[in-house]
Amino acid sequence: MTEFIDVHVHPPVADFLEGPFAPYAPSLRSLDGTPLEPLTAEELADYYRRRNGRAVLLGLDTESVNHMPPLSSPKIADLVATAPDVFIGFGAVDPTKGARAVAQVHEAARLGMRGIATHAAVQGIGPGDRFTYTVWESAADHGLVCLFHTGWTRLGAGMPGGDGVRLEPGRPIHVDGVAARFPELRIIISHFGPMWRDEALTIAMHKGNVWLDLRGSPPLEFDERVLRLIRGPLAGRVLFGSDFPFGDVDRLQADWKLLDMPESLTRRFLHDNAAELLGVSSPAE
């Protein structure tokens, strides 16, 4: 039985490290001094397979900002094809591209992606901007889950001016209008750090089509309000995400298991909620 589904994985393959991530590599080194080592698709699959987990691989398109080749939906599809028992794909969409962004949504659906991923802070446009509505409408039509990066990002962190990255487009409140306008659209608010945490919680409480990827703070640092909500009304819409390779999969899993929660509830957070949302099952199940 699969132990967990990690809904937030940036595959550290060459196409990512030498593509959309490359301009921000200095910011990572300024934070912890450690450059990322590339993995092959097979090595990444083995990493999750050894832990009895599955990984949602997120595409990323920052081409409009830094002219770097995106980790596109076709590249994500190629990675998924190497290990379909482990990998689940989310395609890359840049909402600033207008009609081309809608075409990216169609492409993601055609390639069998389960969802799409955007990064408002880096792409410079919040999901609540009306210019982006045709993108979310198209995603809803295809039944794709939309993952929105919110809050603080290490991309550009520590660099002068944050290397031009603005955090404000990544406020969770910008997701609220999208969830209201497209109630059939399933949305993941990703990153759950201290910045704007109350916004994310409040939106998820109000909008039943919003899920929370709680990557951002270690679970052992959650306050009583967070624990009360995820044990109660939000128990079915909490997801495990590591932000790998920037987050520690083993530590985060261990933290979840140290919380004073029933085993069945921990199982929901680590696996079952994501499996239901994404419509996937473990190969052995």
Structure tokens belonging to residue 224: 């009583």
pLDDT recorded at residue 156: 87
Domain parsing of the chain, residue ranges: 4-278
Q: How far is CA 140 from the centre of its chain?
A: 17
The DSSP-derived string for 196-220 is THHHHHHHHHH-TTEEEE-TTS-GG
Asked if 257 contacts 227 with a C-beta cutoff of 8 angstroms, the reply is: no
pLDDT recorded at residue 33: 62
Asked if 4 contacts 253 with a C-beta cutoff of 8 angstroms, the reply is: yes
pLDDT band of 285, cuts 50, 70, 90? very low
Mean pLDDT on 89-115? 98
Which homologous superfamily is 4-278 in? Metal-dependent hydrolases (3.20.20.140)
At 172-211, the pLDDT tens digits run: 999 999 999 999 999 999 988 788 999 999 999 999 999 9
Judged by average pLDDT, the poorest of 25-29, 43-47, 83-87 is: 25-29
DSSP secondary structure letter of residue 36: P
pLDDT recorded at residue 284: 45
What are the helix and strand counts (H, E) for the chain? Answer: 14, 8
pLDDT band of 27, cuts 50, 70, 90? confident
pLDDT band of 282, cuts 50, 70, 90? low
Asked if 181 contacts 207 with a C-beta cutoff of 8 angstroms, the reply is: no
Residues 6+ apart with CB under 8 A from 71: 11, 15, 16, 19, 20, 59, 60, 61, 92
